[in-house]
Amino acid sequence: MFATFQPTWQIESIYDLKASQLKKRNIKAVLTDLDNTLIAWNNPDGTPMLREWLQEMKKANILVIVVSNNNHARVKKALAKLDLPFISRALKPFSRGLRLALKRYNLTKADVVMVGDQLLTDVAAANHFKIRSILVKPIVESDAWNTKINRFFEGIIKNYLIKNNHFETRWGHKLNDR
């Protein structure tokens, strides 16, 4: 059961992802969660660091697609200044959004990686859909109320993974294969 929640990789931040590391693993597109992964949930404008990272991906021809459980209006507003393609109402941990993204952009499961800050939604969705995943540390420590509930259960799962040596308790800055 806990295999559902085990990420392929862990890194501190999505901004740590280098195009070269992705290319080495044949990743052509990054599917990313929105809140607390790409931007802080309480600071939707993003940061210069984010813009820099998006530039690097663009230069390397790596597609960045936002796959969010939030509604269309909220995601559209959050991404207005960033001009990124997105799937809203993704229904993570179900695979609806991931399946849609692959179909819409003509990608295969082997082409993509899902990046997110939550085991219960982002990582679980990736594992259900049988694609690789990257867990990142949430950008801000506080969470929206609905995320707080998930974090409680996540804590239990995390402790189990740590006990069984399936979780890095120290956040690194590059993709390390186990």
Tokens standing for residue 149: 């509930």
* Residue 143 is a binding residue for Mg ion (CB under 5 A): no
Q: Among 26-34, 50-58, 70-78, 86-94, which window interacts with Mg ion (CB under 5 A)?
A: 26-34
Single out the residue of 35, 69, 115, 135 in contact with Mg ion (rule: CB under 5 A). Answer: 35
Closest separation in Å from C-beta 61 to Mg ion: 26
Q: Kindly state whether residue 33 participates in binding Mg ion, applying the rule CB under 5 A.
A: yes
Closest contact distance (angstroms) between CB of 33 and Mg ion is 4
Q: How far is it, in rounded angstroms, from Cα 165 to Cα 160?
A: 9
154 binds Mg ion, rule: CB under 5 A: no
Nearer of residues 49 and 110 to Mg ion, judged by Cβ:
49
Give the span between the Cα atoms of 145 and 161, in whole angstroms: 25
Question: Residue 35 or residue 154: which is nearer to Mg ion going by CB?
Answer: 35
3-state helix, strand, coil in the chain (%, to 5): 40, 15, 40
Contact (Cβ atoms closer than 8 angstroms) between residue 67 and residue 97: yes
Pick from 126, 129, 104, 102: nearest CA to 116: 126
Q: Is the bond leading into 85 cis (omega within 30 degrees of zero)?
A: no
Comparing CB distances to Mg ion, the nearer of 60 and 149 is: 149
Stretch that binds Mg ion, among 8-16, 27-35, 62-70, 81-89 (CB under 5 A): 27-35
Strand, helix or coil for residue 48: helix
Site membership for Mg ion, residue 36 (CB under 5 A): yes
Binding residues vs Mg ion (CB under 5 A): 33, 35-37, 117
